[in-house]
Amino acid sequence: MSHVFLGIPTAPRGVGHLRGDRPFPEAAREALRDGQLRANLGHATSTIRAKRAAVVGELPDWEQLRAAGRAIKAATMARLDEHLLELEARVTERGGTVHWARDAAEANAIVTRLVRDTGADEVVKVKSMATQEIGLNEALEAAGIHAWETDLAELIVQLGEDRPSHILVPAIHKNRAEIREIFLRTMPDVDPHLTDEPRQLAMAARAHLRERFLRAKVAISGANFAVAETGTLAVVESEGNGRMCLTLPQTLITVMGIEKLVPTWRDLEVFLQLLPRSSTGERMNPYTSLWTGVTDGDGPSEFHLVLLDNGRTATLADEVGREVLHCIRCSACLNVCPVYERTGGHAYGSVYPGPIGAVLSPQLTGVEDNASLPYASSLCGACYDVCPVAIDIPSILVHLRAEHVEAQTRLTPEAVAFKALAKAMSNSRLWRTAQKATRLGRLLARGRPILPATLPPPASQWTFSRDLPTPPKETFSEAWAREHRR
């Protein structure tokens, strides 16, 4: 089933951050030249890989939890319309207001209007992928509303006028010395003797944001989970900035992708075990907040939930690709990916980098708007192994590559070569002749096991980034025929 035939719109162009301004190979080549970036990423990802492996290894039933997580998400998607209506009914019963947004532009307009209605000209924000995806901060800024990011890594990115490069730790590409430099440059009241010790840097962020939390009238969050049967929303975090935002302001606005829900309260018993161990490599994250509508005398008196499509229903229409909607944004796949570890997140262009980004972004935007991403992988499968909901990322990458190839109207040299190969392989006489012909390649190899990378074009397009083995003196079938000759 293809996206195009059903006519379900993908995420629109011109708003949000799902598309890069150049293809992955070009951006990656530049990132690979940044030695500091590679050192920072190598250090951070190897730290987190070891932590995750230790806490996952501790649970004897990890594989059962993983299978249950996968099944719960598949069941959620199969009845997504019904679960969303149930969620809406429960949230409304408990004093919340539910809004629906077809795309990024509509979600931004809804949130901007809601903030304006409160009269506030600033908001505090909990780290949220959905609001990054739709470019909410820029939309608010254009309306004269300043958004304060309160998660430490988001704050580093915001103050440094940088872009996020990781789902969980958007400033993973910065080391402590670089973070210290950003704080000294941008925080008005910072202690000039600030060192690069992580604890001191965390304290500087605390001092910088404390008053803003206490005076804020409006907070904006995302959601890790929403429970359809109870109307409960959950935010999983570490620092307490989430709790500040979810508790102190009078108005809370939560922007959530429609795929983030689970059907029952009981389902949380699976995801609250899978998520922290996969993301920060902890048995449990320091703080998880769960709220249902509004509670008198405890927390915000006004609660708005914005349900966001922005290409998710188009993704749901693809029977193979829809599995990406199971993602719980843990980022374990980024941390194990040999490609991500070397290029970092910026090379992917979208706010969703790494293996999951390579299958999610092209589906939200339509493959042709992110055509290089399905190729940003060696298909090694490490991402599938660590995924807490067992998303088969390598298979979806291959599926999207096929979709991209089928969408091509002009013949590429690669397509011509493969057409010729298909013809040769469908006829045994032609195939044997072709095999004999490849033996000419042995002349180029001059006895080395790999052909030189500097073949003439168009063959160089292939050999530039791939090893082409020297053709053998004799093929397997020739050897078989020789040895078994009667």
Partner 1 sequence: MTARDEVLARIRTALGPDRPPPEIARDYRTTDERTVAELLAVLTDRLEDYRATVLRCAPDAVAATVAAALDAGLGAGWDPASVVTAPGLPGPWRPGGAAEDDGRPAAELAAFAATLTGVAVAIAETGTLVLDGSPLSGRRALSLLPDCLVCVVEAGQVVSGVPEALTRLDPAAPLTMVSGPSATSDIELNRVEGVHGPRTLLVVLVA
Residues 235-264 touching partner 1, rule: CB under 8 A, are 238-241, 243-244, 246-248, 258
Residue with smaller CB distance to partner 1, 44 or 253: 44
Query: Rule CB under 8 A: is residue 233 a binding residue for partner 1?
Result: no
By DSSP bridging, strand 232-237 and strand 287-292 are antiparallel
Pick the stretch among 139-147, 194-202, 450-458, 462-470 that binds partner 1 (CB under 8 A).
194-202
Least distance to partner 1, CB of residue 34, Å: 17
Query: Rule CB under 8 A: is residue 138 a binding residue for partner 1?
Result: no
Residue with smaller CB distance to partner 1, 254 or 470: 254
By DSSP bridging, strand 302-308 and strand 251-257 are parallel
Query: Rule CB under 8 A: is residue 228 a binding residue for partner 1?
Result: no
Residue with smaller CB distance to partner 1, 27 or 65: 65
Choosing from 15, 123, 201, 400, the residue that interacts with partner 1 (CB under 8 A) is 201
What would you measure as the largest C-alpha separation in the chain, in angstroms? Answer: 93
Least distance to partner 1, CB of residue 267, Å: 8
Least Cα distance to 125 among 249, 230, 302 occurs for 249
Pick the stretch among 205-213, 366-374, 393-401, 429-437 that binds partner 1 (CB under 8 A).
205-213
Choosing from 133, 151, 341, 403, the residue that interacts with partner 1 (CB under 8 A) is 151
Q: Which two tokens stand for residue 274?
A: 């899978």
Query: Rule CB under 8 A: is residue 269 a binding residue for partner 1?
Result: yes
Query: Rule CB under 8 A: is residue 206 a binding residue for partner 1?
Result: yes
Helices within 337-449 (DSSP H only): 338-343, 354-365, 382-386, 393-406, 413-425, 428-438, 441-445
Query: Rule CB under 8 A: is residue 113 a binding residue for partner 1?
Result: no
Reduced 3-state DSSP string for 63-95 = HHHHHHHHHHHHHHHHCHHHHHHHHHHHHHHCC
Choosing from 14, 192, 297, 456, the residue that interacts with partner 1 (CB under 8 A) is 297
Least distance to partner 1, CB of residue 11, Å: 13
Cα gap 189→441, rounded to integer Å: 68
Strand, coil or helix: what is 357? helix
Choosing from 13, 210, 419, 436, the residue that interacts with partner 1 (CB under 8 A) is 210
Query: Rule CB under 8 A: is residue 448 a binding residue for partner 1?
Result: no
Strand, coil or helix: what is 413? helix
Task: Could you list the beta-strand ranges (E) of 238-394.
Answer: 251-257, 261-262, 287-292, 302-308
